[in-house]
Structure formats: C-alpha cells, structure tokens
C-alpha cells in the first residue's frame, strides 16, 4: 500500500516537468539586424527577379491609371464641346440680329423713297477717292442693260410688290430670285434702285455674304443718286466686316460720314468708326 502511494507521488512530481520540456523556447534576441516583419515578399504579386527589378503595378493600380486617363480625355472633349456651343450660339444670335434688322427695315416701307437715277456711274468713291469695289473682289458693275419691254410703271410696281411680299413672308430664296428677275426685266425702272438694295438685304438674311456685298455695292455704282445709297454703303461695310476685310470697312464708313451727313446711315457709321 505504501509502495503504491510512493509511486503515485513520484508520478505527480514528474508530469509537470515533462510538460514544461515540451513547450518550445523562443529567444527574443535570436533575430538578426536585417530581419523584418512581415517577411520579405509578403503581399506582393511575386518575388523580385534579378535583385534590382521593381514590382509590376497591381491590377487595381492599372485600373486607376486607365480611369484617370479617361477623366482627362472627357475634360478635354467637354472643353471642345463648350467652344463649339459658343460658336453656334454666336451664329444663331447673328442670324437673329439680321432678321430683326430686316423686319425693322421692312416696317419702314418697301416703296422707293425717291426715283432712281438710272444713268451709269463711275462707281462709288470712298473718302480717299478710291472706288469702292463689290465685296468678294468682284469687278465694278456695268450700266443696267436696257430692257426690251416698254416701261409700264403700274406693271413694274406689281412685280416689285410681289417680290417684296416674299420678304415679308420670309421666303428669302424666292425673294432673291424675284428681285434678280425684276432687275433683269426692268433695269431702268424707278423701283430698280430699291430692288437692288433689297436684293442685298435678302442675300444677307440668307447668309450669302458674297451676294449681299455685290448687291449693296451695285446700288451706289448703278444708282448713285438714289436715296438708298447711304444705307447700302453702310450695309456694305457690315458685310466686309463679316468677311474679315477690315481694311475696307473704315474707308466705306468714312465715305458714308463724309458724303451723306445727317442721314441715319452716317450716324451709325460715325458710331462704328469710334469703335474701331
């Protein structure tokens, strides 16, 4: 009995010592100076190759770079669109201004303010004594051709009024054709000067700057005594400005101020000269 108790006592004393020997001993000072945590290569796409190579960007990094490039391209395209929208808005505003100006002139009446002088002229002359050429470099207009049809003021007025009604209806294409046909058929009519002027207005409303400039220039060249000459020259200056011929604009405006003082065209020309 005593022997069994002694054996149990020895076994109880030896078990803790055996368990203690099974626990691994960690030496905190065993690490070298170059060791680090986490271990080298942890979390990278792959091990470094060749000792000096850099790690390739991750898939997330490539996606971020592509997204940044797309945002930059979108910003550039937005800038282009804004510029185009501004240009379109400016063109619309200029067209609207032309229509408003045309409406105001239509309201002033389409009948001739004074009979046209149908004698041929040497062309318009600017303040410096140089002839005013039609817009677009066209040669000076020749004298109106003599119509083979006998003059009939009543018939001419009906023809002219029909062309003018097309302006009121804003059918500018047909109005341009009607006034051109009228001038071919009745070049010496008392309404010819007005028809020549309104042909310029119609072409301007259509956006045909070349045709408008030529029509306005012919008013002073073919009908130099007509009351529409100051207005036609002022409108010619406006056409030249739109065409970018700034060197011609000042001379035409000076001609209007010098030769037609007191007219509304001269007042507008004086205002524009101050802005140049």
For the chain, the C-alpha Rg in angstroms (whole number) is 46
pLDDT in tens, 51-97: 445 556 688 888 888 888 888 888 888 888 877 776 676 655 555 55
- Reduce the DSSP state of residue 125 to 3 states and report it: strand
Q: Is the pLDDT of residue 207 over 70?
A: yes
At residue 202 the predicted structure's pLDDT band, cuts being 50, 70 and 90, is very high
Report the C-alpha gap between 214 and 133 in whole angstroms. Answer: 8
Please report the pLDDT score of residue 3 as a whole number.
58
Report the C-alpha gap between 232 and 214 in whole angstroms. Answer: 10
Mean residue pLDDT of the chain comes to 73
CA-nearest of 201, 205, 207 to 232 is 201
Contacts of 256 (CB under 8 A, 6+ apart): 230, 233, 234, 237, 263, 265, 266, 269
At residue 264 the predicted structure's pLDDT band, cuts being 50, 70 and 90, is very high
Q: Is the pLDDT of residue 10 over 60?
A: no
| 233 touches 252 (CB < 8 A) | yes
Burial of 62 (0-12, 13-18, 19+ CB in 10 A): exposed
Report the C-alpha gap between 204 and 217 in whole angstroms. Answer: 13
pLDDT in tens, 103-137: 555 555 554 544 444 433 333 333 333 334 444 44
| 213 touches 133 (CB < 8 A) | no
Domain chopping of the chain, boundaries: 109-275
Please report the pLDDT score of residue 233 as a whole number.
96
Q: From the centroid of its chain, how far is CA 19? A: 91
CA-nearest of 226, 248, 159, 232 to 198 is 232
pLDDT in tens, 210-232: 999 999 999 999 999 999 999 99
- Reduce the DSSP state of residue 114 to 3 states and report it: coil
The total of other beta-carbon atoms located within 10 Å of residue 260's CB is 18
DSSP state, residue 136? G
Class in CATH terms, 109-275: mainly alpha
């Amino acid at each position: 009995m005593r022997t069994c108790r002694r054996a149990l006592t020895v076994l109880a004393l030896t078990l803790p010592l055996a368990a203690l020997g099974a626990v691994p001993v960690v030496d905190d000072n065993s690490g070298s100076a170059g060791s680090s945590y986490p271990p080298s290569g942890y979390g990278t796409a792959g091990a470094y190759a060749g000792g000096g190579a850099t790690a390739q960007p991750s898939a997330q990094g490539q996606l971020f770079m592509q997204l940044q490039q797309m945002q930059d391209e979108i910003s550039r395209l937005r800038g282009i669109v804004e510029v185009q929208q501004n240009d379109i808005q400016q063109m619309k505003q200029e067209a609207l201004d032309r229509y408003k100006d045309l409406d105001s002139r239509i309201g002033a009446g389409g009948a001739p303010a004074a009979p046209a002088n149908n004698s041929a002229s040497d062309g318009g002359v600017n303040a410096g004594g140089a002839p005013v050429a039609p817009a677009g470099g066209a040669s000076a207009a020749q004298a109106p051709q003599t119509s083979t049809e006998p003059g009939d003021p009543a018939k001419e007025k009906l023809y002219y009024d029909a062309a003018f009604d097309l302006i009121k209806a804003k059918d500018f294409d047909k109005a341009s054709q009607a006034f051109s046909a009228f001038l071919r058929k009745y070049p010496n009519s008392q309404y010819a000067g007005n028809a020549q002027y309104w042909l310029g207005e119609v072409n301007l409303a259509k956006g045909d700057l070349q045709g408008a400039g030529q029509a306005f220039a012919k008013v002073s060249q073919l009908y130099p005594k007509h009351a529409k000459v100051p207005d036609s020259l002022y409108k010619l200056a406006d056409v030249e400005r739109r065409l970018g011929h700034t060197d011609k604009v000042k001379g035409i405006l000076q001609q209007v101020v010098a030769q037609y003082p007191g007219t509304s065209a001269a007042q507008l020309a004086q205002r524009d000269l101050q802005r140049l």
